Structure 1
Amino acid sequence: MDNYWSTLVQGPKTLDYTRELRFSDERRDCFIKALGLQPGMSIVDLGCGPGTLTRKISKWLNHDVSLMGIDRDSAFIEYASKEAREQGMNNITYIQGDILKVPLPSDSVDACISHTVIEHVPNRDFLLEQQRICRSGGTVSVMSSRPEKSIISTPLSASQAQMSVREQELWKPIHEIWSRKDSSRGIGNYALDPSLLPLLFEELGFVHIEVDAITLPVVLDNSSTSSEQKLRMVELERQQAIEGLEIGLNQLDEEYEHAGELGLLIHQRYDKRKDLVISQKRVWDFQIYMLFVVRGMKP
C-alpha cells in the first residue's frame, strides 16, 4: 500500500501538528547542531512524512539549502508539496519513493536526515543506502524517539481534564487490535537499543560519530504561551484524538458499538481543558519527550 501510514496510523495534518511542536523554532540551534547542518548544503529527509522538518530547516537556514523529502506515502507527499508551495519554499522537492532504494545517484548529497524512521526499517540497509548517496565528507543523522524516557505529568488538580476511566475502557479494544496490526505491518519491528546504534555506524565505516539528545517539552500552561496559542493547542490535540479514533475504528473488523460514546467523551474532555484555559486555571499537565540522535560522516 502506498498510503497505509496516513490512513491507518496517523494523518498528514495531525502528524504535521505534532512535529510542529517537536521542531519548534526555540529549539532551532539544538537541531541544527545535532544534525550538523550548514547553509549551502543539499539535504535529503528520508521518511519525511508531512514535510514539517524540511520546511523548518529551510526557514532556519534562510532558504540557503537544497532540500528533498522522500516518503512512500502518497498522501504525505501531496500534503508536503502543497504546504511548501503555499509557503513559497521553492528550494524543497518532495518525491514518493522507497527509502531503501533512494532514486538518487551515488555521491550526490551533503546530508541525509531522518526522524523516527530507523525503527521501522532494516537498520543496516537504511544506513548503507544513505551512505551510498552521500558525498565523501557528507553526514548521516538518525533521530529516534525514546518514549521510555518521557516525563508525563498527571497532577491531581488536572483530573477533571484527564481521560476518564470509561474513556480508557472504550479505547482499550481499539488500541489492542491496532497494536497487533501495527506489528504485522512492521511498525516498530526494527527498534534498536540506543547503545547499539553508534556501534552500527562504526561497523559500517562512518567516521566522526557523534551522539546527542534533544528534550522536547510540551507545556500548555507556560506563562510564555498566549491564551490564543493555548486554545489552538487544545483544538489541535482534539483534532488529533478524533482522527486517531477514526483511524482506530478502521482497524476493527466490525462496527464498534461504543464509537459514538467514545467520540462524545473525547469532546467532553477537550471542552473541559478549553474551559480551564479560558478561566486561566493552570493544571500543569505537561509532557517532556526525548530524541536520541546519532550522526556520522562518510569518509
Structure 2
Amino acid sequence: MNKIWSSQIQGPKTLDLSRELRFRDDRKEFFVKSLGLLTGMTVVDLGCGPGTLTRKLAKWLGNESKIIGIDRDDIFIDYAKNKALEQGFTNIEYLNGNIMNIPLESDSVDACTSHTVIEHVPNYDFLLEQKRICKSGGIVSVMSARPEKAIKSLPSSAPQISEREKELWEPINQAWLKKDQERGVGSYAIEPSQFPHLFEQLGFVDIEIDSIALPVVIDNSSITFEERLLMVEYERQQAIDCLVVGLNQLEQEYEHAIELELLINNRFDKRKEMVMNNQKIWDFQIHILLIARGRKP
C-alpha cells in the first residue's frame, strides 16, 4: 500500500479542509473559466489527493460531465471515494495510478488539471503525458501556489504561538524538513515565467496565464457567525493534523506530543472565544494561486 504522502507529508483531512476554503462555490465562475472547462467534458484531476477539487468540478460542471481523479496514495483514494459516496456524486471516478504514466488511453479526455502537483514532478514529462491523453482541442492546466507572495497578518491582539509551543515544534520541523528534502518534495518548482515556455515547447496553443488571490479572513463582515466558528475549527484541525503527520517524521515516540497538542488547542480556544465575543482582531492570510493553461492543437 502506498501512503507516503498522506502519512508523511500532508494528511487527507488537512488537505481537504484547506482546499474546501480554496475552492469555494462563490469562486466557481473564475475557476471554470480559468481552467478552460465546459459542461459535458471529461476532466482528469491529477494528484487529486482527498478529492476536494474533483467533487467541486463534478458539482460545477454537472452530471453531463465526467470527472476522473488519479492519485498513487491509497489513503487519499479511499478517502476521496468515501467522500464522493457520502455526498451522492455519480459522475466521479477515482483511479489509483502514477500521474507520470497515466492509466488512460491516448486522445481520450477533454481536459486535464492539477493543483500544486507540478512542483513535485518532472515538469516537461508531466505535461507531455497530459497532452497524450487529451483529445485534439483538449485543455491542459496547472495550478501552482506561490507562498512567497502570500500576505499574512497576525496582530498582537491575536493568540500567538507561545515560545514553549515553538520550542516543542522545533525537533518535529527539523526532522520534517530533512525528510522532505530526501523525498524530493518541491524539488521541481520553477519560476512562474517558465510555465508558458513549457507549454510552448510542448506544442500547446492558446496559452493563458491567470491568477487569483485567496483570502482567508475570519473577521470579514460578509462571513456569518457560524462560518467564522467553522473557519477557526478548520484551522485547528489543520494544526492537529499537521502534528499527527509531523510526529510520523520522528524515529521514536515524542515525549512532548500531548503537551504540544494542548498548547495548540489552547491557542485556538482563545481565537474561538474572541469570535464568540464578537471581538474582531483582523488576523488573515491572502494566498496567490497561479494558473497556466494551453490547448492541444
Displacement, 1:63?
Answer: 2.8
Displacement, 1:223?
Answer: 1.3
In structure 2, the residue matched to 1:137 is: 137
In structure 2, the residue matched to 1:89 is: 89
Matched, 1:28 2:28: yes
Cα distance per residue 1:39-91 (max 9 Å; x no partner): 01010000001111111111112332111000001111111111111212111
In structure 1, the residue matched to 2:80 is: 80
Cα distance in structure 1, aligned partners of 2:251 and 2:2: 21
Give the counterpart of 2:190 among 175, 189, 192: 192
SS in 1 for 2:157: helix
Query: Please, which moves more after superposition, 234-243 or 279-288?
Result: 234-243
Displacement, 1:272?
Answer: 0.3
AA in 1 matched with 2:271: R
Matched, 1:44 2:32: no
AA in 1 matched with 2:102: V
**Unaligned 5+ residue runs, structure 2?**
none
Aligned residues: 297
Cα distance in structure 1, aligned partners of 2:203 and 2:151: 35
Displacement, 1:154?
Answer: 1.1
In structure 1, the residue matched to 2:241 is: 243
Displacement, 1:225?
Answer: 1.4
Q: Provide runs of 4+ in structure 1 moved above 3 Å.
A: none
AA in 2 matched with 1:226: T
Cα distance in structure 2, aligned partners of 1:278 and 1:144: 35
Identity %: 62
SS in 2 for 1:157: coil
In structure 1, the residue matched to 2:64 is: 64
**Unaligned 5+ residue runs, structure 1?**
none
Contact residue 58 and residue 64 of structure 1 kept, 8 A:
no
Displacement, 1:236?
Answer: 2.2
In structure 2, the residue matched to 1:211 is: 209
What is the correspondence of 1:101-140 to structure 2 with a 5 Å cutoff?
A: 101-140=101-140
Give the counterpart of 1:169 among 164, 167, 172: 167
Contact residue 13 and residue 241 of structure 2 kept, 8 A:
no
TM-score normalized by structure 1?
A: 0.97
SS in 2 for 1:156: coil
Cα distance per residue 1:77-130 (max 9 Å; x no partner): 111111111212111000100000011110000000000000000101100000
Cα distance per residue 1:151-192 (max 9 Å; x no partner): 00011222xx12122212221221111011011112101101
Cα distance in structure 2, aligned partners of 1:240 and 1:203: 39
In structure 1, the residue matched to 2:149 is: 149
AA in 2 matched with 1:266: I
TM-score normalized by structure 2?
A: 0.97
Displacement, 1:212?
Answer: 0.4
Cα distance in structure 2, aligned partners of 1:97 and 1:222: 41
Query: Please, which moves more after superposition, 223-232 or 118-127?
Result: 223-232
AA in 2 matched with 1:104: L
Matched, 1:254 2:252: yes
In structure 2, the residue matched to 1:3 is: 3
Displacement, 1:240?
Answer: 1.5
RMSD (CA atoms): 1.1
Cα distance in structure 2, aligned partners of 1:77 and 1:255: 28
In structure 2, the residue matched to 1:287 is: 285
Cα distance in structure 1, aligned partners of 2:130 and 2:154: 41
Cα distance in structure 1, aligned partners of 2:62 and 2:195: 32
Contact residue 47 and residue 70 of structure 2 kept, 8 A:
yes
Contact residue 14 and residue 242 of structure 2 kept, 8 A:
no
